[in-house]
A and B are shown apart, each in its own frame.
Chain A
Amino acid sequence: MTTHHHPDDELLLGYVTGALSYPAEVVMAAHLTLCPRCRDAAADLEMVGGEILEELEGASITEDGLTGVLARLDEPAPVSMVAPPPEADSEWAQLVPAPLRAMAAVPKGDLSWRRPLPWISVVDLANMDDHGAAVYLMHVRAGRAIPRHSHRGTELTLVLAGGMTDQHGHFRRGDLLAVPPGVTHHPVMDDDEDCLCFSVLPMEKCW
């Protein structure tokens, strides 16, 4: 698999420096999971962060501080990683990147799907009030379309399965579609496979 549609510098830099909202950060971490090229680009920007850290100066440490930390070295480590929930469906785990599975917080079988249109099923992954954005997984039947829509903020959509086409191009697994505010689009799904994608729509839902 080779991805053809990648995030721009602003999104990559925003991801590396921690400037993105949590949902946009999840889109980026999921894209990076599927795109070795952007993983390398992000690693380079992280290296810039390392050098900027290296340039910084600060007040010298206190011996008390060092002694305190040395005394804590043998403390048991807190559990810090948020792992995705145990996933019984291994096909799902291969399809949906871990950062997104962690955001969904439940295994595939417990996802609650709604059906805004007969050919579209949606799982809401986050409360809009928490993030100021609509965040969802969407399944669209092969050959069908998502109704023409636009949005106030930049829409980020990551294709996980199948493919879709709009005026920006043809998007397949791993491709990231960033639609600027105010731009209207009308994505049509590939004929040969149902499409699964992850979308973040800031501000409001328009359809």
Chain B
Amino acid sequence: MGNGQVGTLKQATNQSEGFVALLIAVAERRDRGAFSELYRHYTPKVTTLAVRMGVERSGADEVAQEVMLAVWRRARSYDPTRAAVSTWIYAIARNRVIDGMRKQKRAEVDPQDPALEQAEHPEVEALIDNERRAGRLLDALDALPTEQAEVLRFSYFQGKSQSLVAEELNLPLGTVKSRTRLGLARLRGAMGEAP
């Protein structure tokens, strides 16, 4: 790893730790200043994600504002040991987009479900280090071969099946599948790596 990459990683990690602090300030103190900072950073990104996921441009601002309102309302349910801030906001945004496109609400695991099977060995170490893992992941995403990164990004943006991704990128389905598999394997390697 070159020095430049170390610098980027450090920057990304510091920045994401800052977002955790902001979100906790919102959760614990209902801090409007902290919320405004999160709003400034994430609203443009969520708007773009919504458009990429198929929301009409005219409706995307409203979707992003509702996502940010949900960030304010649900801040107390954010658990920094379970997810990075960007992961948590991504899930809220994805669910809001899905809910706007169909009749049924997004189906999710309910942590209070009596049927929930608990992990036998909670991976505490993996969980507490989410922000650092997110930083490593960001680097790994940058380092992915272009064709793997393209297929993966396309899957997330379009929220589409692999056959539709293949159609839109004009690639054989087998190529999309193998690029996805290779790309995910690399990202998993980066996330699981010792710090």
Q: Residues on A close to B: CB < 8 A? A: 1, 9-10, 13-14, 17-20, 22, 25-26, 28-29, 32-36, 39-40, 43-61, 65-66, 68-70, 72-73, 75, 77, 80-82, 90, 93-99, 102-103, 174
Contact = CB atoms under 8 A, between A and B. Distances in A.
Interface in B103-121: 104-110, 113-120
Nearest to B98: A18
Given A90-B114, A98-B110, A98-B113, A53 B102 contact: no
Contact of B90 (A32, A33, A50, A103): A50
Contacts of B65: 65, 68-69
B20 interface: no
B27 interface: no
A39 B138 CA distance: 21
24 contacts: A10-B177, A13-B155, A17-B94, A19-B158, A19-B160, A19-B164, A28-B107, A34-B117, A36-B120, A40-B119, A43-B83, A44-B187, A46-B83, A47-B137, A48-B152, A48-B184, A50-B134, A51-B134, A66-B43, A69-B65, A73-B35, A96-B115, A99-B108, A99-B110
B113 A18 contact: no
Interface of B: 16, 32, 35-36, 39-40, 42-49, 52-53, 61, 65, 68-70, 72-73, 82-91, 93-95, 97-99, 102, 104-110, 113-120, 123, 126, 130, 133-134, 137-138, 141, 152-153, 155-162, 164, 177, 180-181, 184, 187-188, 191
**Interface SS, B side:** helix
A25 B115 CA distance: 17
B84 A47 contact: yes
Given A19-B160, A52-B156, A72 B44 contact: no
A33 B117 contact: yes
B156 A17 contact: yes
Contact of B107 (A45, A57, A68, A99): A99
A75 B120 CA distance: 41
